[in-house]
Structure formats: structure tokens, C-alpha cells
Amino acid sequence: MSSTKQVLSPEARNGGFPHAGSNVSLRERAYRIRRHALRMGEVQGQGYIAQALGIADVLAVSYFHALRYRPDDVHWEGRDRFLLSIGHYAIALYAALIEAGILPESEIESYGADESRLPMSGMAAYTPGMEITGGSLGHGVGIAVGMALGLKRKKSDAFVYTLFSDGELNEGSIWEGVMGAAHWQLDNLIGIVDVNDQQADGPSSAMSSREPLHERFRAFGWHTQRVDGNDIDAVVAAFDAARAAKVAAPRIVICDTQMAKGVHFLETRERNHFLRVEAEEWQQAIDLLDANFSAKAP
């Protein structure tokens, strides 16, 4: 499916409940997710913006192609679950939840404020659509295993998606979850790894050797794919293949992404794990994002 063509909402594709704007292209969804994230970042003047810009294409495919959900009923039992293991990516997920109509756009200005439903690290008790609290890294896969196993035992056809990062692969709990998922043959579990080769202490590859990742996950018994996470068509194809695979095994989509994708002066900024952006640069970033989107419009 082309990223520039109209796509059905996940609700409509899966016999669910279509919502407004379901004919918007995935490319536009990704652009708008990036724009929402930049507007939130401007409120605080800093944050995990590079990750949000990098993972926006994956989130667009997740919420506007793959996932089954009801924007007005976040606890609908038939929904697919999307778990954000990397809690500091919350700004990215908020942007996707706003675009999906689960959160109102008017709350952008409250990002990171006291009593806000949009804290800087994801907290399930605060935010509609946030399935788990992910401040402590490395737990998303284990929680996803429990959810997926529970859904299978209830004979549910729902899927559990969990997004974690290459930096989280340093955590032993990730690999415990990976082993458990394979043991229980959780074919309703789809893992997504954001490989951007950046963490707080520097390049992830310099902190711990983990390549070749696809061979490692395959050795653990997972159905494995690796794609360019900023190529929407490739992500669509990988997500479809993961969901349709006729194997009694969990699935993983390893997504190589560019930190700060779409804003070149942030892409090249040294150590962009946590960005502090000058006041005038926020509008420059938004203007650049707008210009790039308009220039590539069909």
C-alpha cells in the first residue's frame, strides 16, 4: 500500500468503528505526529524530540494502519494493545494519540505541567490510551507477554504490540521476556524495536554489542523482520506480514530509524538523545517540517 494513497482507518479495516479523517495518507499522519511533538517540545524548550521525530513513521503505521481500537473507548476489550516500554518516548506517543483523536489537541500546551495528563514520562494512570507506565526501562516486553498470554487464554483475537528501543536491549529483563514469549508461542505478540543507535551515554552500539539483531531474535524463536523504520511502505509491509504470519511464534519488526528525522539541523546535532533547543529554533523546525511536507505532496 502506498504511503501517499488514501488508507482506511484500522477500525474500518478490521470491521470496527471508523472515525473522522480516515482517508488521510499515512505520510500526512506521520508529518502531523512530528508537528504535534515539536509543538509539545516547544512548551518545555527541551525533551526527547529526536526520538519522537524518528519514530513518527512507525507510529503512523501503527495507529492508522495496523491497530484496532476505538478512540472514544480506550478500554474497549476488543482493542489491540500498544505498549510503550520506553517511557521517555511519551511525547511521541502523545502526538500519535492526539492525531488518533484519543487526546484533544488543545492539551498540547499542558505538556509537562503540574496536573497535566501529558507528563514527560509515560504514566498509564494519567493518560487515556497509555497502556503501561514505562519510566523504568526494560519492562515492556515482560508485561506484553503477560497481556498476550492472558488474551490467548480468553480466546481473544486482539494483538499486543510493544515498542522498545535498542538501548533497552541492555536490560536483562528484555531477554527474559523474549524467551518467555517464544516458550508460550505467543503469535498474538508483535514487538517493535527502534534502532536509532543513541542512548544517554552515547551510541547504543558502543555501550553493548548486540548485532546482528535479526539473527539474535530468530535464535530466540521469533518471526523476525528488519526494515527502514522511516520508509512507510516498508513498515506497512512488515506489520502486515507480522500479523499474517502462520507460525506459532511471537513476531518482531526491527526498525532502523534516523534520530530527529525531517529536521536536518537536529539530525546532525551531537548527542541528541535529550535535546535542548533554542527558542527561535522551534519555529524553524516546524517551518522546515512544513516545507518538506509541502514539497513532497502528490
Percent of the chain with pLDDT over 90: 66
The 10s digit of each residue's pLDDT in 166-220 is 888 988 899 999 999 999 999 999 999 999 877 666 666 657 777 789 999 999 9
Model pTM score: 0.90
The 10s digit of each residue's pLDDT in 265-276 is 888 877 777 777
Q: How confident is the model at residue 225 (pLDDT cuts 50, 70, 90)?
A: very high
Domain ranges of the chain: 10-295
CA gap 75, 62 in Å, rounded: 18
How far is C-alpha 254 from the geometric centre of its chain's CA atoms? Answer: 12
CA gap 49, 55 in Å, rounded: 10
CA gap 33, 216 in Å, rounded: 32
What is the arithmetic mean of pLDDT over 5-12?
A: 42
Q: Please give the CATH architecture assigned to the domain spanning 10-295.
A: 3-Layer(aba) Sandwich (3.40)
Cis peptide before 10 (omega within 30 of 0): no
